[in-house]
Amino acid sequence: MRTLPARYLVFAALAATLCAKDAPRPWPADAFRPVTAERIAALPAADQPAWRAYWEKSLAQEKLLPSRKGRELAPSRPLGGAPIPAIYSTKLNLKAPDAWYASEEARALADHLITWQTPVGAWTKGGDYSRDFRPVDNEHDEYSGGTYDNDSTITELFFLTRVSHAAMAAPAAAPRLTTWRASFLRGVTYIFNSQYPNGGWPQIYPLAGGYHDAITYNDDAVVHILELLHAIGNGEPGLDFVPAESVGQARERFRLGLRNVLACQLRDAAGHPTTWGQQHDALTLLPCAARNFEPIGECSRESVELVRFLMTLPQPDPDVAAAVHGAMAWFDRHVLHGVAWDRKSPAGTGLMAKADAPPLWARLYEIGTGKPIFGERDRMIHYDVAELSLERRNGYSWYVTAPSELYPLYAGWKLTASAKL
């Protein structure tokens, strides 16, 4: 678990002074830093060999891919023009009845999606799995290797496990089953290759630069990776075909990833664990910024899924327990009662009094002051959501209710976890 260094605490104190009138302010100059050979060379000598090996493997993996035009577009300055919409792969249902995964419809989707698997074993965003991949489909060059963003790669791998498991009792599906399983194992190798030496994962691999190199909790990317590794390590249904060597490696990668999650957790001035940022620097583990409207901050939304995941672990150790208790205490301190936010209503430019409103949290809070913060595409940080443009105000979940979902789970978890510690 990380205690913020003096420069961050000083910055937070300065921000509190400068923002006494809640004036918008720009991002700090080092809001995010990609992984580079120069940064690796500045690491302690003992850490450099593992990181150099990782860097060299990433470069080697990139040579397997088409020319990556998107590398030139990796965000290093504010972007102009129309906003880029979120892109999700289509037609993959992970919550269908078990019988559906034995249907020809599901099997056809599996057949199609493996044609979209990239040479390094992952998937990009926006795949249309109603048909096979075509070379002209790869419009988003920065993702040409693979990404965990927007549920990519892990969704495809979980889908393959469900279809494969359902096909085990159908001899006629045997040739396709072999192909699906081979695709799954290539994807698992991608997870192993993309994991940083310290246990985190970038959003895109091979490394693409910009904020894509950060350890990404946004949209639960790391949580989904850990869930899959945990399933492999436990030999859950549909995964008994995974070789023993890969199972053992999945367990070790899971252990290392979990330790990294705990190491990234922020602490308050008194040293108590609190919450996580949306992204954390790959080398320092400090919270960092991402898209032009996502500044550095303590994040409620992504921390919910991290806490929920930690509470699913069957044998929580004292560090895991402390992480959960600390985060729940943070939610208690930051909850808003009696107010609501409707971003789509004509009057919904800010919070409105509403006695029966559910508990509410801002999505992002300024580190050190605890003030809710809101981002604009020009990389200015605002302290009032009403100051944002209509496009940004309506296009992002600046307030959330998701932490409420944790409280009934936490009540039960405290009873069982305390008995196991």
Cα–Cα–Cα angle for 257, 263, 266, rounded to 5 degrees: 130
Rg value, the chain, Cα: 22
Please give the C-alpha separations between residue 23 and each of 9, 217, 334, 381, 387, in angstroms, as whole numbers.
20, 28, 21, 9, 10
pLDDT of the residue at 74: 41
**1-29+265-421: CATH number:** 1.50.10.20
292 is catalytic: no
Average pLDDT, the chain: 88
Q: What is the mean pLDDT of residues 4-19?
A: 42
Token pair recorded at residue 337: 């009662």
**Phi, psi of 235, deg, nearest 5:** 60, 45
Give yes or no for residue 119 having a pLDDT over 70: yes
Average pLDDT over every residue of 236-265: 96
Asked if the model's pLDDT at residue 13 lies above 50, the reply is: no
pTM (global) more than 0.75 = yes
Is the pLDDT score of 412 beyond 70? yes
Q: What is the DSSP string of 365-420?
A: E-TTT--B-EE-TTSEEES-GGGS-HHHHHSS--EE-GGGGHHHHHHHHHHHHHHH
Q: DSSP letter for 270, please.
A: T
**Quick one: pLDDT at residue 174?**
81
pLDDT by residue (tens digit) across 283-340?
Answer: 999 999 999 999 999 999 999 999 999 999 988 999 999 999 999 999 999 999 999 9
Out of 33, 68, 150, 162, the active site residue is 150
Identify the pLDDT of residue 238.
85
Which residue did the predictor score with more confidence, 415 or 186? 186
CA distance 284 to 387: 33
Neighbours of 378 (CB within 10 A): 15
pLDDT in tens, 179-230: 999 999 999 999 999 999 999 999 999 999 999 999 999 989 999 999 999 9
What is the per-residue pLDDT across 128-176, written as a single tens digit (0 to 9) for each? 999 999 876 765 556 679 999 999 999 999 999 999 999 987 777 788 9
Spans of all domains in the chain: 1-29+265-421, 31-67+87-262
pLDDT for res 65: 87
Is 162 among the catalytic positions?
no
Q: What was the pLDDT predicted at 68?
A: 61
The string over 102-122, giving b where at least 16 C-beta atoms fall within 10 Å of a residue's C-beta and e elsewhere, is: beeebbbbbbbbbebbbebbb
Q: Which of 33, 291, 363, 392 is catalytic?
A: 291
Rounded to whole angstroms, how far apart are CA atoms 9 and 2? Answer: 13
Measured CA angle at 203 (ends 280, 144), to 5 deg: 155
Residue 76 has pLDDT above 50, yes or no: no
Distance of CA 382 to the CA centre of its chain: 24
Percent over 90 (pLDDT), the chain: 72
Q: Is the pLDDT of residue 418 over 80?
A: no
Do 1-29+265-421 and 31-67+87-262 agree at the fold level?
yes
Which one of 3.10.450.50, 3.40.50.300, 1.50.10.20, 1.10.3720.10 gives the CATH number of domain 31-67+87-262? Answer: 1.50.10.20
- pLDDT (average), residues 11-23: 50
Q: What is the mean pLDDT of residues 240-262?
A: 97
Residue 77 pLDDT > 50: no
Share of the chain above pLDDT 70, in %: 86
Higher pLDDT, 18 or 279: 279
